[in-house]
Amino acid sequence: MPDIIEITDFDAPELDIYARLTENQLLNRHEPEKGLFIAESPKVVERALDSGCTPVSLLLERKHIEGEARNVIARCGDVPVYTADFDVLTKLTGFALTRGVLCAMRRPPLPDAAKICAAASRLAVLENVMNPTNVGAIFRSAAALGIDAVLLTSSCSNPLYRRAIRVSMGTVFQIPWTFLPQDTAHDPASHIRYLKSLGFLTAAMALTERSSSISDPVLTSADKLAVILGSEGDGLPAETIAACDYTVRIPMSHGVDSLNVAAASAVAFWELGHMKQR
C-alpha cells in the first residue's frame, strides 16, 4: 500500500486540485495533454480506471482507507494518497456527494469522430447542451438504453466536468464520445452534413409544424441513425433542423409541449436505441 499523507490544513497546496482549481483550469485548454478531471465515489473511480484513465492522486476520508476505498487504492498503484479529518474534508464543496473518495486523473486524449461513427449505428448528438447535470444525465440514459456513442458540439459542457461525471454515475467512461468538428462561422449545420456523409439518417428533436412522431418506423428501422438534441432553453437552431432528414417529437398529453432535454433523451433513446429492437 502507498504511503498515506495526512492533511491537517484545508489551505494545504496538496488540496488545490480538489478544492481550488476551476473546471477550466483542470481542463487546461492551452495544454490539453496536461488536463485533469476529478472522479468522485469508489464506483465512479473504478469505472474510470476500467476505461484506462490514469490516476494522479487520491483524497480519502480516513475511515475508507481500509473500507470502501481499499480496492481503489490498490488499483491506483503508487500515486499519493491524501487523507484528512472529516471536518477538513467537509469544507470541500459537495464532499457529502463523494462517498468520501476522490481521485484526480489525467484526461484521456479524445478519439476521432469518424472512428467512433464507423463503429456505431445509433448516435446521440448534443448541440449547445451547456448544463453539466443534463450532459451527465444524457450520458447515463445513452449508456443504458442502447446508444453506441455520444458526439458533442464544441459549445456543450464538457462530459468530464465533475458534476457531469457524478450525475452520469461514471457512464461517461463506459460509452465512446468526442467533440465534433463544426464550422459555425461558414456552415452552422456542418456537423449534420458530416454525419450524413458517414451514412447516418439524422433526426432532430424539435417542435415544428412538420415534426413527426418519434415512433416513425423509418427511424426505428434505420441502419444508422443520429438523434440530435438541442440546448435547454432554445432547443435546436433553425439551421440544424433544416439540415436534418427528419424532425421528430415525443407525443404528449395534458397540454404539455416538451420535456427537459435529459428526460426527452431517455424517451428517445428507448424508442430509437438498440434496447427497443431486441
Q: Helices (DSSP H) in 40-83: which residue ranges?
A: 42-50, 70-76
**pLDDT tens, 176-204?**
999 998 665 567 789 999 999 999 999 99
What does the alpha-carbon distance between residue 176 and residue 49 come to, in Å, rounded to a whole number? 15
**pLDDT tens, 44-101?**
999 999 999 999 999 988 888 888 888 999 999 999 999 987 778 877 766 665 677 8
**pLDDT tens, 9-48?**
888 898 899 988 999 999 988 888 889 999 998 999 999 9
Residue 254: per-residue pLDDT: 85
Say if residues 128 and 231 touch (Cβ distance below 8 Å): yes
Residues 6+ apart with CB under 8 A from 149: 116, 117, 119, 120, 123, 124, 175, 176, 177
When pLDDT is cut at 50, 70 and 90, the band that residue 133 belongs to is very high
Residue 183: per-residue pLDDT: 63
- pLDDT above 90: percentage of residues in the chain: 63
How many Cα neighbours within 13 Å face the side chain of 118? Answer: 5
Comparing CA positions, the residue from 161, 99, 130 lying closest to residue 229 is 130
**pLDDT tens, 170-180?**
999 999 999 99
Using the predicted structure, report yes or no on whether residue 277 has a pLDDT greater than 70: no
Using the predicted structure, report yes or no on whether residue 119 has a pLDDT greater than 60: yes
Query: What are the b/e assignments for 189-215, b being 16+ CB within 10 Å?
Result: bbbbebbbeeebbbbbbbeeeebeebe
